[in-house]
Amino acid sequence: MTQIHRLLPPTVTKAVIFLHGVGANGQDLLGLSSFLQPELPQTVAYIAPDGFDSYDMLPVGMMAESYQWFSLKDRSPQALSDALDRAVVRFQVLFEDIRTDLGIAYSDIAFVGFSQGTMLAIRAALQLPSPVAGVVGFSGAFLPPSLVHSHPPFCLIHGRQDEVIPSQATEKAAQDLRQQGCLVDHFIDEGLGHSIDERGIQRMTKHISQWFKPISA
């Protein structure tokens, strides 16, 4: 059963769900909450599930609690798309459990993904029956689904020197998502590899703060 790491206030009105990269775990990405907490309302919950399966390409000496949302053993486009489809179905069940437990709406929830977690966050957000508040995606890529049901806003961030996923993947994702009718801000940061730096954290905080602002009458 998927372990879910949580930081819950006494009263919850909003939530940020973190989706980690391959080979990591939810606790690893939950640390980003420390940058959001001073800027967001105290009623925001921070949720970080572990990936659905143990990492199946674990190198010797890597931490034991390493997970993946889907396997990367076969990286052909069709195999990746099929694996991502299966992960989205599983995530939708997990997401509904989390949302129902918190008692909040789709529009009260933002996703923050890194690498493989970004791939899942983007695809899942497009296929939910109602749009979430928004999606921040670090160092990821976009594999378009066959059907799109929702059009949330996106903030995509990538390092120009990323040695794992080329920054062109985010440029292409931004283009494709705009063609789907989504509002997208994307940033390519010079001197950054496959990582998150202060610039990205500032953008994440700014966008989620804007998405969580009450709509003026």
Ramachandran assignment for 205, one of left (phi > 0), alpha (psi -120 to 50 degrees), beta (any other)? alpha
The angle at the Cα of 23, spanning 21 to 29, to the nearest 5 degrees, equals 45
Q: Give the start-to-end residue ranges of the domains of the chain.
A: 4-211
Task: Quote the pLDDT of residue 214.
Answer: 75
Task: Quote the pLDDT of residue 217.
Answer: 41
| Rounded-to-integer distance, Cα 185 and Cα 196, Å | 17
| Rounded-to-integer distance, Cα 15 and Cα 109, Å | 5
Q: Which CATH number fits domain 4-211: 2.40.50.100, 3.40.50.720, 3.40.50.1820, 3.30.565.10?
A: 3.40.50.1820
pLDDT digits (tens, 9 = 90+) for 16-71: 999 999 999 999 999 999 999 999 999 999 999 999 999 888 765 555 689 999 99
Which positions are annotated as active-site residues?
115, 162, 194
Structure tokens at 59: 């190198």
Along the chain (217 residues), what's the average pLDDT of each consecutive run of 10 residues? 92 98 94 97 97 83 80 89 95 97 97 98 97 98 92 98 97 96 97 97 98 73
Q: Which long-range contacts (CB under 8 A, 24 or more apart) does 35-40 make?
A: 35/201, 35/204, 35/205, 36/204, 36/205, 36/208, 39/205, 39/209, 40/14, 40/16, 40/205, 40/208, 40/209, 40/212
